[in-house]
Amino acid sequence: MPRYASSIDVARLAGVSQSAVSRAFTPGASVSKTTRKKVLEAAAKLGYQPSLIPQIMLNHRSNLVAVVIGELYNPCYWMVLQFFLERLKESGRQVLLVNVESGHFLDATIPRLAGYRVDAIVSTLPLHAPEAADELARFKIPVVLFNNSVKNAWISSVSCDNRPAGRQVAELFVSKGAQSFAYVAGAQDSPASDERLSGFSERLRELGMKPATIYGGDFRYEGGRTAAATMVKLKAKDGVPNAIFCGNDLMAFGVKDYLVGDAGLNVPRDVMIMGFDNIPSSDWGTYGISTFSEGAENMVAKAVSEVERIAHHPEQGMGEHFVVPTRLIERASTNRPVIRALPPGQATISPLLVASPVDGDS
């Protein structure tokens, strides 16, 4: 094992006391220019950097923020991670990245995080068990949950408006003549997926439509393909739904690839498909998936802002839930004319950002 240079080594080489070395690396400390110059030159020659551990032990602040993230198979979370790294760097924080294999719940990660001296935890994973929020609070570490709505005295959260987004999908499908519907869900007990389904189902009911058939997709491309295959197998009984809302873009890709490539259907003539997340490949010509931009950068900015607020004003505590609006982006996968006007006063579709029309797949 290599031996790191110590402050004693620097003091010996510079010909000064160990306390002078400490003062030279402490902002605002009293030390002459000559002494500081000797110390810095000696430190550079030895490759010395002062340890943060004594400072952490002294003031109980590490300047570290743990970013706990899973589902890195999904490009959406690569974007989220990049936004977090950029924002936390701008705020002068260091990042402790914790990648969790089980990308669905934070609960199992809590014991690991308790051993680190972090100033705050930001997590893209939801809490599964209600008591997990109480367990987190017991460690007295500020936590910001991303794409979640849980909160208590030590937890704040930020999410996009999933429920209104689901309502908008229902309105879009119905206005374009859809009569049968499906929802390809994300992970079991995922708050975001459940909220999207809730808004979708609620608005379909209000518009007098039959409820959507629900298929599990686990937020993965393969799950979307499997869900689509199941729809085709059930075709003789119910017919393939002519409007499918997927809980994220990856599942929408899988659904479209199977329906077009394996079942020979046309999108959007035979079936319309909607995704969620607006990952870059959703705009590729092969897919052209209508989707929602969930404002990930704005959500990250709000999460980091909450970390900074509690760092500077700990007496204010946590317990806030912030909602960031989504934006519906219509592309080729729903590019059909509007044939039904919704009843007056009921329409809630917000202005759309419409991409350039692309011919449907044959």
Report how far apart the first and last C-alpha atoms of the chain are (Å, whole number). 63
Do 166 and 304 lie in a common domain? Answer: no
pLDDT of residue 62: 58
Instruction: Calculate mean pLDDT across residues 96-105.
Output: 68
Its pTM stands at 0.76
Could you tell me what percent of the chain has a pLDDT over 90?
A: 34
Same domain, 101 and 68: yes
Q: Residue range 140-162: average pLDDT?
A: 82
Does residue 282 have a pLDDT over 90?
A: yes
According to the model, what pLDDT value does residue 102 have? 55
Residue 74 lies in a domain: yes
Are the beta carbons of 121 and 133 closer than 8 angstroms? Answer: no
On whether both 283 and 174 belong to a single domain, the answer is yes
Most confident of the ranges 90-94, 336-340, 348-352: 336-340
Q: What is the rounded CA–CA span in Å between residue 158 and residue 10?
A: 47
Residue 347 has pLDDT above 70, yes or no: no
* 217 and 205 co-located in one domain: yes
Q: Work out the number of other CB atoms within 10 angstroms of the CB of residue 239.
A: 11
Q: Are residues 154 and 172 in the same domain?
A: no
Identify the pLDDT of residue 57: 44
In a domain, 32, yes or no: yes
Residue 170 lies in a domain: yes
CATH number of residue 34's parent domain: 1.10.260.40
Flag whether 1 is in a domain.
Answer: no
Task: Report which residue type is found at 108.
Answer: A
Residue 68 lies in a domain: yes
Average the pLDDT over each of 87-96, 189-198, 308-317 and give the range with the smallest value. 308-317
73 or 302, which is more confident: 302
User: Average pLDDT of 115-142?
Assistant: 75
Block residue for tokens 């479209």: 256
- Of 39-53, 73-87, 99-113, 180-194, where does mean pLDDT reach its minimum? 99-113
- Round the average pLDDT of the chain to a whole number and report it: 82
* Residue 86 Cα distances to 4, 246, 300, angstroms: 30, 30, 10
Regarding whether 200 and 336 lie in a shared domain, the answer is yes
| Residue range 229-269, pLDDT digits in tens | 999 988 755 678 999 999 999 999 999 999 999 999 999 99
Same domain membership, residue 347 and residue 219: yes
- Interstrand relation of 327-330 and 291-293 (parallel, antiparallel or unpaired): antiparallel
d(CA 237, CA 234): 6
pLDDT attached to residue 237: 56
What does the pLDDT look like over 202-224, one tens digit per residue? 999 999 999 999 999 999 999 99
Output the pLDDT for position 356: 35
Coil vs helix vs strand at 265: coil
Cβ(2)–Cβ(46) under 8 Å?
Answer: no
For 21-77, what is each residue's pLDDT tens digit?
Answer: 878 877 677 888 899 888 888 888 888 776 555 554 444 555 688 888 877 778 888
Looking at residue 68, its pLDDT comes to 84
User: CATH no. for residue 279?
Assistant: 3.40.50.2300
Q: Which residues have CB under 8 Å from 150's CB, separation 6+?
A: 126, 127, 133, 157
- The whole domain housing 258 covers 162-294+327-354
Residue 91 maps to a domain: yes
Q: How many domains does the chain have?
A: 3
- Are 348 and 229 contained in the same domain? yes
Residue 3 or residue 74, greater confidence: 74
Q: Is 154 domain-assigned?
A: yes
Are residues 312 and 264 part of one domain? no
The verdict on 40 and 82 lying in the same domain is no
Residues 218 and 202 in one domain: yes
Same domain, 284 and 339: yes
